[in-house]
Amino acid sequence: MNTFSVAEFRRQFPILQKLNKDSGLIYFDNAATTQKYKAVIKTSQNFYQESNANVHRGSHFLSAKATKSFEIVRLQVQTLINASSEKEIIWTKGTTESINLVAQCYGLSNLKSGDEIVLSQAEHHANIVPWQNLASQTGAVIKVIPLDKCGRIDLVQAEQVITSKCKVLAVNHISNVIGKLNPIKELIALAKNVGAKTLIDGAQSIAHSSIDVKALDCDFYVFSAHKMYGPTGVGVLYGKEQLLEQMPPYQFGGEMIKKVSFTGTTYNSLPHKFEAGTPNIVGVVGLGACLELFSKSLLSDLQAYELSLCEYTYLALSKVLGLKFLVDQQPDIPLFSFTIENVHHHDVATFLDSKGIAVRSGHHCAMPLMELFDLDGSVRVSLAPYNTFAEVDELIKQLQQFSLGENTEKLPVSTQPSADNLTTINQDEILNLFSNAKSWDLKHRQIMLLAKELPRIDKQLRSDNDLVNGCESSAWLKVSINETSHQLSFVADSDAKVIRGLMVIILSVYQHKTAEQIIAFDINAYFSQLGLMQHLSPSRGNGIKAIVERIEQLAATHL
């Protein structure tokens, strides 16, 4: 019988108590990082207060104590994934570093020109770029396995792609965009048949399934502690001992040596050979504290709860007007990627943020997958077992209202290449609007209303030369000068409504000004008066900076 209580589980995550009480925050960005388990926070603090010393090298009591706390976690992780020996567990700073380590230490000494590295269409950049780098170092070639209709790695197609030229197969266990378990046991078997080595990116699977590396018979399995309720800055590389033995070290320095002289150095044995320098001791100890969540019985309770949450959310999302999932059928973990008809994904995410719901929007570090779908991004909602059905209901309510509002509203489209497409709204009016809008919800509403002041430019009039670099959603900016008054006029547009609104705010101070006035204007002071920047995500903040820089560059050409 499932005795799992979400209320009880939630209490184990202090940030949820606090954020919920202070601002009613609903956290649905768990695939990016999970919230931290109380025991992880407590253990980390206790370690600094009671056991802090460097590990392995100290000749005193405290160092022995710290080393014991640190090394015991290696044994626990060995048990967690059923590795044969603790020598097979290497600490890294995360999945990305684990993959880089394998690409460089295994790949560089074993691959040659013409060999093939096989990936899937749905890899995270962390499982693409290190292999591309290896390919450029060795002359090896990247091959890609397509997905089936439901977004899983297609086994039939895999058989065609994994040939005797394949030397490494590196694929995800669960994609961070699609949320479906891939048939990795079968894929590993295909790779073994042709003598290729296998690396499984378990970043998204480790928190949701039990992993048995012996049963899988993969050569490498990698994951990050921060996606399993543990600390940031710690990751695991599992590798078969025999392979790790053959591989050269990754980085060089202390810890990874046996003996150093100016005539030469001998390296330490496994696992320390791959752990140069002082490791993230408290991170590893913190990871140890979250492993109690992965006991067989609790994990199966968590999985059962997640599944019911997954079914419920999938059905509810399916009913939202204009919502389209990226792939067919319900995901295996509660991770949903979708678009909403006629609305930019950033606008959906910014709207939800203004309602206290944290979701992810963008390419999710999976640009080749977005290319396949012919999208520049999507919305991603990813849940953890501390999320509740009531939170899902709130998400659905907000999405329904948003989609209904957006899909009934028609924006004017300007087909004339006019000097500027902005109705004159000035700085004082903007300041006035924002001084009355105290909360982020109200400010967000103002930005979206202002977006209506910027008629869309006909697609044919948007030129690639006018694209603003550094803005995550496409934004166009064109300038012309009045030869008599020397004032500059801007035409602006963006796919994202939130960016159009922000463009109106920016142009309220730059439109019809001379180049000298534009360069002299203190935009940062203006933004702080509006109280906006602290609410914008780093990527949106950078987008705004990119637009301002572009305006200043354009102005500089007219000085």
Cα(450)–Cα(430) distance, integer angstroms: 9
Q: Which residues touch 374 (CB under 8 Å, ≥6 apart)?
A: none
Residue 94 beta carbon to ligand PLP: minimum distance, rounded to whole angstroms: 3
- Would you count residue 95 as binding ligand PLP (CB under 6 A)? yes
Contact 381, 395 (CB under 8 A): yes
Residue 220 beta carbon to ligand PLP: minimum distance, rounded to whole angstroms: 13
Applying CB under 6 A, which part among 197-205, 380-388, 434-442, 451-459 lies near ligand PLP? 197-205
- Would you count residue 172 as binding ligand PLP (CB under 6 A)? yes
Cα(502)–Cα(532) distance, integer angstroms: 10
> Six-digit token pair at 132?
């591309």
HSE-CB of 130 using CA atoms within 13 angstroms? 23
- Would you count residue 203 as binding ligand PLP (CB under 6 A)? yes
User: Which residue's entry shows tokens 């803005």?
Assistant: 471
HSE-CB of 451 using CA atoms within 13 angstroms? 23
Q: Is there a catalytic annotation at residue 105?
A: no
Residue 230 or 385: the one with the smaller Cβ distance to ligand PLP is 230
- Would you count residue 124 as binding ligand PLP (CB under 6 A)? yes
Cα(359)–Cα(350) distance, integer angstroms: 9
- Would you count residue 152 as binding ligand PLP (CB under 6 A)? no
Residue 383 or 451: the one with the smaller Cβ distance to ligand PLP is 383
- Would you count residue 204 as binding ligand PLP (CB under 6 A)? yes
Residue 67 or 95: the one with the smaller Cβ distance to ligand PLP is 95
Applying CB under 6 A, which part among 68-76, 122-130, 135-143, 314-322 lies near ligand PLP? 122-130
Measure the CA angle with vertex 474, ends 472 and 477; round to 5°.
Answer: 120
Applying CB under 6 A, which part among 121-129, 152-160, 254-262, 540-548 lies near ligand PLP? 121-129
Q: Which residues touch 270 (CB under 8 Å, ≥6 apart)?
A: 87, 88, 90, 241, 244, 245
- Would you count residue 30 as binding ligand PLP (CB under 6 A)? no
**H or E element, residue 20:** helix 14-23
Residue type, 142: I
Three-state helix/strand/coil letters over 473-535: CCEEEEEEECCCCCEEEEEEEECCHHHHHHHHHHHHHHCCEEHHHHHHCCHHHHHHHHCCHHH
Q: Map residue 477 onto helix, strand or coil.
A: strand
Residue 96 beta carbon to ligand PLP: minimum distance, rounded to whole angstroms: 3
| C-alpha 152, offset from chain centre | 20
Q: Map residue 382 onto helix, strand or coil.
A: strand
Cα(39)–Cα(20) distance, integer angstroms: 20
- Would you count residue 126 as binding ligand PLP (CB under 6 A)? yes
Residue 223 or 476: the one with the smaller Cβ distance to ligand PLP is 223
C-beta neighbour count of 423 within 10 angstroms: 11
Which residues between 212 and 231 bind ligand PLP (CB under 6 A)? Answer: 224
Residue 29 beta carbon to ligand PLP: minimum distance, rounded to whole angstroms: 10
- Would you count residue 92 as binding ligand PLP (CB under 6 A)? no
Q: Map residue 413 onto helix, strand or coil.
A: strand
C-beta neighbour count of 110 within 10 angstroms: 16
- Would you count residue 280 as binding ligand PLP (CB under 6 A)? no
Total residues contacting ligand PLP by CB under 6 A comes to 12
Residue 94 or 286: the one with the smaller Cβ distance to ligand PLP is 94
Residue 12 or 224: the one with the smaller Cβ distance to ligand PLP is 224
Applying CB under 6 A, which part among 94-102, 303-311, 373-381, 446-454 lies near ligand PLP? 94-102
**H or E element, residue 309:** helix 296-318
239 bridge partner residues:
220
Q: At what angle do helices 61-81 and 281-290 cross, to 10 degrees?
A: 50
Applying CB under 6 A, which part among 88-96, 159-167, 436-444, 451-459 lies near ligand PLP? 88-96
- Would you count residue 330 as binding ligand PLP (CB under 6 A)? no
List 218, 310, 365, 471, catalytic entry: 365
- Would you count residue 201 as binding ligand PLP (CB under 6 A)? yes
- Would you count residue 234 as binding ligand PLP (CB under 6 A)? no
Residue 361 beta carbon to ligand PLP: minimum distance, rounded to whole angstroms: 14
Residue 94 or 231: the one with the smaller Cβ distance to ligand PLP is 94
Applying CB under 6 A, which part among 124-132, 328-336, 493-501, 529-537 lies near ligand PLP? 124-132
**H or E element, residue 493:** strand 487-494
Residue type, 454: L
171 bridge partner residues:
200
Applying CB under 6 A, which part among 142-150, 198-206, 303-311, 508-516 lies near ligand PLP? 198-206
Residue 204 or 268: the one with the smaller Cβ distance to ligand PLP is 204
Residue 205 beta carbon to ligand PLP: minimum distance, rounded to whole angstroms: 9
Residue 171 or 450: the one with the smaller Cβ distance to ligand PLP is 171
- Would you count residue 94 as binding ligand PLP (CB under 6 A)? yes
Cα(169)–Cα(260) distance, integer angstroms: 36
- Indicate which residues carry an active-site annotation: 365
What does the binding site for ligand PLP look like in residue numbers (CB under 6 A)?
A: 94-96, 124, 126-127, 172, 176, 201, 203-204, 224
